[in-house]
Structure formats: C-alpha cells, structure tokens
Amino acid sequence: MKIKENLAYRQIEGKIYIVDTSNSSLYCLNDTGSLIFKGIEKKLSVEKIVEKLCSEYEVEYSVAEKDVKDYIEILKNFGIVE
C-alpha cells in the first residue's frame, strides 16, 4: 500500500489537504484521517497504524482496526492510495 503518484499534499493545522493533479480534485483529511495517511506515507503496516490510533485516542483495538481498514478502502476508492 502506497500513496498514489501525482498527488500534492500539505499538512495545515493538523489536517492534510491533498490535490490530485490528474483530475484537479481537492481532499481534506481530518485529524484521524491525517494520522492514517501519515502512517501510509511512512509505509507503516495496518497493525502499526492501528496501534498509533489507539495510543492517540481512547479506542479499542478491534474498533480502531475496522475503522483504519475501512478508511484505507475509502482512500483507495478516491484514488489516493494504491
């Protein structure tokens, strides 16, 4: 899993803004989405991203794992992650 090429992104006040230059789309990720995106950027495994999410927020591992996997699928559907 990696971030698609042709994307420009920047973090501003905890949120990540992504521009897809291939179709001129703009995406804004909230704090949790940004944490997941940064984990993907650092090439962390899903398990490591889940652990980071659990340590950052008070959430059970199983809930965080489902949320991370679901969010990654959303990022794939938008063409942000491949």
Tens of pLDDT along the chain (82 residues) come to 999 988 999 999 889 999 998 888 999 999 999 999 999 999 999 999 999 999 999 999 999 999 999 999 999 999 999 9
> Is 2 part of a structural domain of the chain?
no
> Is 82 part of a structural domain of the chain?
no
> Is 12 part of a structural domain of the chain?
yes
Position 61 scores a pLDDT of 96
* In the chain, beta strands by DSSP E: 7-12, 15-20, 25-29
Position 14 scores a pLDDT of 84
Instruction: Give the single-character DSSP code of 4.
Output: P
Domain hosting 53: range is: 7-77
Provide the whole-model pTM. 0.91
> Is 46 part of a structural domain of the chain?
yes
CA angle 25–8–29, rounded 5-degree value:
65
> Is 36 part of a structural domain of the chain?
yes
What is the count of structural domains for the chain? 1
Distance of CA 45 to the CA centre of its chain: 12
Position 6 scores a pLDDT of 86
* CATH number of the domain encompassing residue 61: 1.10.10
> Is 32 part of a structural domain of the chain?
yes
